[in-house]
Amino acid sequence: MPGANRSILAGFSVLFALGLAAQSTLAAPSGPPVRIGSTLALTGPLAATGLVHKIVGELYVEQLNRKNGLLGRPVEWVLKDDQSRPDLARTLYEQLITVDKVDLIVGPYATANILSAMGVAQRYNKVLIHHTFGTPSLAKYDMQFPTGGLAGDPDNTIPRLVFDALAASAKPPKSVAVVTSKFPSVHFISLGAREAAKKRGLREAAFLEWDFGNRDFGPIAARLKDAKPDFVWVGDLGLEGNLLIDAMRKIDYMPPLHFHLFPAPGPLLKAPGGENALAATTFEEHPPFTDNPVAVEFIRLYHERGAKAGLPDTSVENQSAISYSSWQTLEAAVTGAKSLDDKAIAQWLKKNPVDAIVGRLRWDGHPPDSTR
């Protein structure tokens, strides 16, 4: 969630690939389309972030079809709305495979929905490339491939990143409040933040939780105002952080600093009261990220498409970058395997890294470069 006059934690990564080779002129794709199926949260609590992933997917498929498609064939993206519901995501992935007869599937947005899709993928022996799975220890299927750049223990790595940055600031906090959604991955990482704060000797001013889908943040805002923490860790997803900020503003309160775990990037960046908000990212619109010509072109296209879609901010940041990287991974794997066979694609990914705009991704037992 980069922005010129904002305090942002440039997160997760220190090494980034310089870019993919420029594409040569190729013949137009022909023949029956390669059909790729997925769901996204186009409605419901996660829709603001789901829209980001929809824009990126549409851009990437257009780029593929302007080149040589996949294996010389045009690409068709069969996209369904899972309404931010894991149970519906499960049903829709069943439909994509058994009714729509898609050739390949890619993951939805958010951990719970990805876990639902993963169960279906395992049942039908389908490769699943996904980008926003926040609880890696739950991913047991051997043909699932995360592209979000998270380490295997985000409950340790993300809090360490945040608290290291705070400790190095001019005025390190002495007290912390941890407030979090009960959404599984967010809750998991936020509990890690709570433990990290305790180990560093920070006084816990408050620990508060809410159910996913909650829209009334008045009680939490009031508790935070009474607790007066130096720093608030907000385990939020989508627009939850915006709703909390709105509730705090209504009672004339705003903490000195507040970190947001998985926010909808544009709305938080533009939110009144969000001036001291922090967030982590795998991508920002400056070198070394923009040393990659593929990234530069994506930034240009995303700015244009985001503006047309009415996004409050059109910067390429974590959500858009990892989404693009997942499509890069799919293209690289199909091209490398020279096949649409799921097992062949999986074997190729296990043996080969992919240079994506967020860095080098690998699934051979070593951590991705973007976590080092």
The per-residue pLDDT for range 221-234, each reduced to its tens digit, is 999 999 999 999 99
Q: Give the confidence band of 348 by pLDDT, cuts at 50, 70, 90.
A: very high
Q: What is the pLDDT of residue 27?
A: 72
Average pLDDT, the chain: 91
- Cα 247 to Cα 286: distance, rounded to the nearest angstrom: 34
Q: What is the pLDDT of residue 149?
A: 82
Q: Give the confidence band of 103 by pLDDT, cuts at 50, 70, 90.
A: very high
- Cα 41 to Cα 57: distance, rounded to the nearest angstrom: 13
In percent, how much of the chain has pLDDT > 90? Answer: 84
- Give yes or no for residue 112 having a pLDDT over 80: yes
Domains and CATH numbers, the chain: 34-149+293-371 (3.40.50.2300), 154-278 (3.40.50.2300)
Q: Higher model confidence: residue 28 or residue 297? A: 297
- pLDDT tens figures, 68-89: 999 999 999 999 999 999 999 9
Q: What is the pLDDT of residue 367?
A: 54
- pLDDT tens figures, 268-288: 888 899 989 999 899 999 999
- Cα 46 to Cα 227: distance, rounded to the nearest angstrom: 29
Nearest to 40, CA basis, from 50, 49, 48: 50
Q: Give the confidence band of 114 by pLDDT, cuts at 50, 70, 90.
A: very high
Q: Any idea which residue has 């058994």 for tokens?
A: 98
Indicate the length of the chain as a whole number: 372
Which residues, listed in sequence order, are joined to residue 39 by a DSSP beta bridge?
A: 80
- Cα 242 to Cα 236: distance, rounded to the nearest angstrom: 9
Q: What is the pLDDT of residue 266?
A: 83
Q: Is 340 exposed, middle or buried (0-12, 13-18, 19+ CB in 10 A)?
A: middle
Q: Higher model confidence: residue 2 or residue 46? A: 46
Q: What is the pLDDT of residue 269?
A: 85
